[in-house]
Structure 1
Amino acid sequence: MYCSWKKEMAERAGELFDRLRNKCLSRGYGGIKDLAVVFRKMDIDYSKRLTKEELKDGTSLYGLHLDEGDLNVLFVSFDMDENKTIDFCEFLHRLRPKMSQMRENVIMEAFTKWDVNEDGHLNIDDLKVVYAANARNHPKYQSGEWTEDEVLRSFLDSIDTPGNPDGKVTRDEFMNYYAGVSATIDDDCYFDLMMRSCYGLPPKSSQSKQRPQ
């Protein structure tokens, strides 16, 4: 009987997650990051944890209005140590659309290549090394409307957390953004090709070639 109840709870939590994920994706590539902004603004003490009431408020802002029963199901599925709070980083991680290992690998390959300073963030200094030539081809740079730094910052802001851009893109922010992009592309090979083209990565076929023994 207890096992059956736990199974029903897990299935219902999964359904609620799917609904919230779809709400996020309906807002575009940055939908999951938008939700992250909502939760971060609630995290006044920087604990990176949320109470049940904060979870309710955050999901309501996204149009997912949960009754008390569903709210409890969703909250309990995360509050594993029963301390009345949940880790919102783990919450957001589970919200990401499911991706194949191939997709996750190429996303991280792109991030690693562009993280020239190897500090775990993409910032303007990194982009000046790998993207400056492209920035100078931007129409607003060529018209004199933007400086090179403004072009680079615009690129960062397109991936950075909406509503809270800080000029730095973390691995999680990068992954969250491209998880949204991934959800719009059915074919793994096309997604891989798109990422390699956008970020100047070597073709996958060239990586698999081994030197003769």
Structure 2
Amino acid sequence: MIDHLSRAVISDPEQNLTSEKPEISHILPDSKLAPIRFRKRTLHETKIRTQSTLTENILSHKVQFDGRIISRNGHDACRELVGFFFTHDQSLTIYEYRQFGKNRTNVLPFIKKNVYCHQRGRRKGKQYRLADLYVGANLTFLSSDHPRLPESVKENTVLTLRITNVDWRALDSLKTDSEEHDDVTSEEANDRKILKAIQDLLKEQLRRRGVRILTGLGKHLQQLDKEGNGLLDKADFKQALKLFRLEVSENDFESFWLILNSSGNGRADYGEFKRAIIGEMNEYRKSFVRKAFMKLDFNKTGSVSIIDIRKCYCAKMHPRVISGHSTEEEIKSSFLETLKDACSKSDEVSYGEFEDYYEGLSIGIVDDEDFVNVLCTPWGI
């Protein structure tokens, strides 16, 4: 199905044109009733040659990738996306998996096939290339260019998609063929160096108190966002770091702010602020966080009631329960208390709040499989 998707929307425009030169002289009078072997076929049925260069052979030079939306809206954050990048014209297209009932899944157009450019960062205005496709990369699009996007997605001027998986074999093959290499500029390399130094410093401070700090910080920044657009100014971020005793030198913060506020408007998205200054768990870990939340959020509303979380959370295999130091109820109550402290509403948990909890937990767990085991065991996934 995936392979058909990558070709369907951009099939050769001449595919339905009949050839001037008959291929078979004994075509039956009604070609629709004739056996397939006697019909004059189109591109969908045979490898007919056309004058256009937009053929299946060229379109087969593509890279498939999976993605997700970076959003505070829980429903949007859990959308499952699959995209294709075509090397012949450097274009891309993205689809969304949609579940209809228990057993039916459709794939619907999300981003139409076109050539796109970066909308943020040092590469703003530059066209997307193969080198931009890697796990953890962000693809940015102007929401106004895509009127069919869901209304909740169009609320933001820029739509940001995170690549969660890439067909590495196809990518490596096409990179070799085109001799395309990542051309990280000195400015980008310096930005990464600054951010990593700050993240390493803060992660050391968060090692023992990551969960409560990150959940509390997320809730605090949300409360500061009186306009509800996710944007805060420089003073708000400095005050938040001070409040939660996250120590960053003045010089480091100024360098960080220049990177975050690349547009120069004096404001930045607080979600981007958290991801940039503290870092975030890798996409492998995050895929399990999303899987756990999607299991709880069976109505796909983007939030889950505390009552449902209490019903689903199982502490039977918790190390302290197994050792006899705590009861299942004590572990469950402790978990719910910490989670509720992060919530803006007392009776429900949003995806962002759920993710913040596990972001904090992730800081103290070095091994990916250990983290996945800690996350999956109580939720039964």
- Tell me if TM exceeds 0.5: yes
Other-structure match for 2:361: 181
Letter in 2 for 1:55: F
CA 1:96 to 1:177, structure 2 compared with 1: closer, same or farther past 3 Å?
farther
Q: TM-score, normalised by structure 2?
A: 0.41
Separation in structure 2 between the aligned mates of residue 53 and residue 72 of structure 1, nearest angstrom:
12
Alignment check: 8 A CA contact 1:99 1:179 kept = yes
Could you tell me how far apart the structure 2 residues matched to 1:163 and 1:182 are? 19
Corresponding residue of 2:294: 112
Shift of 1:90: 1.5
2:364 paired with 1:191:
no
CA distance in 2, matches of 1:100, 1:47: 26
Structure 1 residues 118-127 or 92-101, which shifts more?
92-101
Distance, in Å, in 2 between the alignment partners of 1:166 and 1:153 is: 15
CA distance in 2, matches of 1:106, 1:16: 27
Shift of 1:178: 1.1
C-alpha separation between the residues in 1 aligned to 2:341 and 2:187? 38
What amino acid does structure 2 have at the position aligned with 1:193?
N
Instruction: Give % identity.
Output: 23
Give the 3-state SS of the residue equivalent to 1:30 in structure 2: helix
Deviations 1:30-83 (A, max 9, x none): 32122223323333333321211112211122242532x333211111112211
Give 1:123's match in structure 2, choosing from 305, 314, 335.
Answer: 305
Greater strand share, structure number:
2
* Structure with the greater alpha carbon radius of gyration: 2
* Count of residue pairs brought into register by the alignment: 186
Q: Is the 8 A contact 1:106 1:195 kept in 2?
A: yes
Counterpart contact for 2:343–2:353, Cα < 8 Å: no
* SS of residue paired to 2:211: coil
Equivalent residue number for residue 77 of structure 2: none
Match of 2:249 in 1: 66
Q: Which of residues 200, 203, 206 in structure 1 aligns to 2:380?
A: 200
Confirm or deny that 1:30 pairs with 2:212: yes
Please say if residues 342 and 353 of structure 2, whose CA atoms lie closer than 8 Å, have aligned partners that are also in contact.
no
Are 1:34 and 1:161, in contact at CA under 8 Å, matched by a contact in 2?
Answer: yes
Aligned letter for 2:211?
Y
How far does residue 111 in structure 1 lie from its aligned partner after superposition?
0.9
Checking the alignment, whether the CA contact within 8 Å between 1:114 and 1:122 is kept in structure 2 is yes
Q: How does 1:138-157 map to 2 (within 5 A)?
A: 156-157=336-337
Q: Distance in 1 between matches of 2:279 and 2:253?
A: 21
Q: Scaled by the length of structure 1, what TM-score is found?
A: 0.69
CA shift, 1:156, in A, is: 4.1
* Structure 2 unaligned spans of 5+: 1-184, 317-326
RMSD: 3.4
Corresponding residue of 2:236: 54
The 10-residue stretch of structure 1 (155-164 or 168-177) with the greater mean CA deviation from structure 2: 155-164
Partner of 1:169: helix, strand, or coil?
A: strand
**Corresponding residue SS for 1:80:** coil
Q: Partner amino acid for 1:73?
A: S
Within 2, Cα distance between the matches of 1:131 and 1:32?
A: 21
2:232 and 2:270 in contact (8 A); partners too: yes
State the partner residue of 1:146.
Answer: none
SS in 1 for 2:228: coil
